[in-house]
Amino acid sequence: MLGSLVNGIILGSIITLGAIGVTLVADILNFFNFAHGAIFTLGAYFTYLYLNLLPETGTMFSLSFGPGMILAIGLSMISTSVVVVVFDKIIFRTLRRRNASSLFLGLTSLGLVFVMKAGISMIWGPQVHYYGPIQSAINFPLGIKVKPDEFFIVAASLILVLVSYLFLKYTRLGKAMRATSDNVTLARASGVETEKIVTWTWVMSASLAAMGGSLYGIEVQLRPTMGWSFLIPMFVAVIVGGVGSFGGALLGGMIIGISEELVTSLLQDMFLSLNMNVIMSAYKPAIAFVMVIIILLVRPHGIFGKKGA
């Protein structure tokens, strides 16, 4: 039970990184970016690329990697942002100028998923890759098993979430991003160049996704479809927390991560006690959707959502 809670926090912290990016794009650009999972995957692969290009840096503390991993993730965040901004300039900006609807923008992003997935498969191949050897878990009291890398994953996620919050709350650009999300015409009438805000929204969203993908890559094998399976939890986290809410994305990510792990574990134990052979991990997305339905029945705009969002 406590082990599942810990796994849920690890999963939730990665979902949160993705969910913040999804909610930023949904709020400022006014569409659900289905390509966010593919951006997540691209970030993981860029980190793999840089890990292989950079000199070996050994390991640090009890982690399975050294400072090279942190540098590789940083370079991956930059590279992923550049790719995504180029996609925006070529595709989404053109559509915005033609007053494309949110539905059309969303469908275009869905098309981009397949382009990106094909591109990743062509460059890195369809086979799985690993950042390094799989690390053994350390046993803690009450049956909790945690790998040292997982402490890094949670800490790095929380630090990035905090930095993102402080950026949006206190910087001039962050305030302009929130103002644009509130009222784009008034933001423009205040001198905010909203196309620049759009670019910075993509940069922030892509950086967080790249970080999330890279941290997930520490835990699992890299596959061209790895982000696709994360897309539903990320979207669900945004809907549960409330579209456009930073706190909602954080809380939603944690709720989905923890509930998926906890409920899966509880149901698995229950089926085992009934001698029923059901593999509950296959039903995680269903658990996420049940959470959405329950929360939206009580709070139709999500936990922190704005009315009309």
Q: Which of 36, 117, 147, 178 binds other proteins (CB under 8 A)?
A: 178
Residue 168 has phi, psi (to 5 degrees) of -70, -35
Question: Any contact of residue 153 with other proteins (CB under 8 A)?
Answer: no
Q: Which stretch binds other proteins (CB under 8 A): 7-15, 188-196, 229-237, 278-286?
A: 188-196
Which one, 193 or 269, has the nearer CB to other proteins? 193
All residues at 6 or more sequence positions from 54 whose CB lies less than 8 Å from its CB, including other chains: 68, 71, 72
The beta-carbon contacts of 229-232 under 8 Å, at least 24 apart in sequence, are 229/37, 230/14, 230/15, 230/18, 230/37, 230/40, 231/34, 231/36, 231/37, 231/40, 232/285, 232/288, 232/289
Question: Any contact of residue 166 with other proteins (CB under 8 A)?
Answer: no
Q: Which of 179, 267, 286, 290 binds other proteins (CB under 8 A)?
A: 179
CB 20 within 8 A of CB 103: no
Q: Which of 55, 97, 98, 172 binds other proteins (CB under 8 A)?
A: 172
Question: Any contact of residue 189 with other proteins (CB under 8 A)?
Answer: yes
Nearest residue to 202 (alpha-carbon basis) of 53, 19, 22, 58: 22
Site string for other proteins, 69-88 (x = CB under 8 A): --------------------
Q: How far is CA 166 from CA 57, 160, 231, 238, in A?
A: 31, 10, 25, 19
Question: Any contact of residue 143 with other proteins (CB under 8 A)?
Answer: no
Question: Any contact of residue 101 with other proteins (CB under 8 A)?
Answer: no
Which one, 182 or 269, has the nearer CB to other proteins? 182
Residues shown for the chain: 309
Which one, 145 or 169, has the nearer CB to other proteins? 169
SS3 119: helix
Question: Any contact of residue 269 with other proteins (CB under 8 A)?
Answer: no
Rounded least distance, CB 304 to other proteins, Å:
10
Rounded least distance, CB 129 to other proteins, Å:
42
